[in-house]
């Protein structure tokens, strides 16, 4: 069945999940117009979109989501009907070191986008097809005990870090704009993502890169913290399903059905690197595992109950954690030219502050 081309504004589209989404959407709907807005802070890299540069239907704009004039201009001149909001400060450790940037980007930035999109939607006489899709996290729900059921869309919010608190604030704004103004919003709360183009500060790329460099593999506390791991390609397909079929005003939780203890995840990565990277300087890679002082306020367990998106929209993740990790390790082995320049002096200083 034919469809009218859509005009997307994707915030944070040069970041990890955002760039994967841009690639996914372009592969599915090459006739749609995609405008990427990204401030290119430390975790944004235009090289993540290098293979799409020059495509007629893709435009890249470097700018801040808090710049209301810029957002207004893009919405108007591109006649945007779908705003997909990935832009965020997203690393818990950095939020502990400097929470101010998280409030500015995640709360003020989301507010700026909501206000601009609301005006744009109203000037267009409130078309039923318009959507504002907000990408959020399972961390807004707090921490689970070992036998607790997974987070559902009805789980009360209980954020425990400056990062998760700022995301909770942005979620509340999105919900309020739907209920107060009728803005056609959608919201998804996802579990931990992994895959290509993941900045080296996050656990999985950090472990892969440190093994290649023969450096210690830092594991917080006792390593028993549990996360539900979601391959980024599955996340992108879930967001697509919500955009296509989701009900405005609703929230959908997205999980990978892959609960793994941190220490077990690190050991799995070590095994894959032992197998797939025969030239690593230290073998076996497991000998590099080093337990470090636990993160402040470290949540013990996250898990997602994805019943709603499965039953209402028919979405389920396609990737197992074993298969997804193998694909991810292969990507980092084959794209050292992408991640090596990211190990800057600023990154090394951040690493020293967190793990020393």
Residue 333, classed as helix, strand or coil, is helix
Backbone angles phi, psi at 28, to 5 degrees: -85, -35
Return the closest-CA partner of residue 7 out of 94, 120, 89. Answer: 120
Adjacent-strand bridge partners of 189: 136, 253
Residues 6+ apart with CB under 8 A from 332: 205, 208, 209, 212, 339
Residues 6+ apart with CB under 8 A from 302: 138, 139, 141, 143, 144, 151, 191, 192, 226, 227, 228
In the residue annotation, 138 being an active-site residue is answered as yes
Handedness of CA 223, 225, 226, 232 (dihedral sign): negative
Return the closest-CA partner of residue 208 out of 325, 345, 337. Answer: 325
DSSP per-residue letters across 80-111: --EEEE------HHHHHH-THHHIIIIIIHHH
Give the active site residue among 130, 163, 194, 332. Answer: 163
In the residue annotation, 228 being an active-site residue is answered as no
Give the active site residue among 138, 171, 201, 234. Answer: 138
In the residue annotation, 163 being an active-site residue is answered as yes
Return the closest-CA partner of residue 262 out of 240, 292, 239. Answer: 292
Give the active site residue among 139, 228, 299, 319. Answer: 139
Catalytic positions are 138-139, 163
């Amino acid at each position: 069945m034919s469809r009218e081309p859509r005009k997307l504004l994707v915030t944070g589209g040069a970041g990890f999940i955002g760039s994967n989404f841009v690639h996914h959407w372009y592969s599915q709907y090459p006739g749609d117009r995609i405008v990427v807005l990204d401030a290119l802070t430390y975790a944004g890299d235009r090289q993540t979109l290098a293979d799409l540069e020059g495509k007629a239907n893709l435009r890249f704009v470097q700018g801040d989501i808090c710049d209301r004039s810029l957002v207004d201009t893009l919405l108007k001149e591109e006649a945007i009907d779908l705003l997909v909001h990935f832009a965020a400060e997203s690393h818990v450790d950095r939020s502990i070191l400097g929470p101010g940037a998280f409030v500015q980007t995640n709360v003020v930035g989301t507010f700026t986008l909501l206000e601009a999109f609301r005006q744009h939607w109203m000037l267009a006489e409130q078309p039923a097809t318009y959507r504002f899709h907000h990408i959020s996290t399972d961390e807004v729900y707090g921490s689970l005990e070992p036998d607790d059921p997974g987070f559902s869309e009805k789980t009360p919010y209980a954020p425990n870090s400056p990062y998760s608190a700022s995301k909770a604030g942005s979620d509340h704004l999105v919900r309020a704009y739907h209920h107060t103004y009728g803005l056609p919003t959608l919201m998804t709360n996802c579990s931990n993502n992994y895959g290509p183009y993941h900045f080296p500060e996050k656990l999985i790329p950090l472990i892969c890169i440190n093994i290649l460099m023969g450096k210690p593999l830092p594991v917080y506390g006792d390593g028993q913290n549990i996360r539900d791991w979601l391959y980024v390609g599955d996340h992108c397909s879930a967001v697509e399903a919500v955009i296509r079929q989701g009900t405005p005003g609703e929230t959908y939780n997205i999980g990978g059905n892959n609960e793994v203890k941190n220490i077990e995840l690190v050991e799995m990565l070590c095994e894959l690197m032992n197998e797939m990277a025969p030239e690593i300087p230290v073998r076996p890679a497991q000998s590099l595992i080093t337990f470090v002082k636990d993160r402040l306020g470290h949540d013990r367990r996250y898990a997602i109950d994805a019943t709603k998106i499965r039953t209402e929209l028919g979405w389920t993740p396609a990737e197992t954690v074993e298969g997804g990790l193998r694909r991810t390790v292969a990507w980092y082995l084959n794209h050292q030219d992408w991640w090596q320049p990211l190990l800057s002096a600023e990154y090394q200083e951040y690493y020293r502050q967190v793990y020393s």
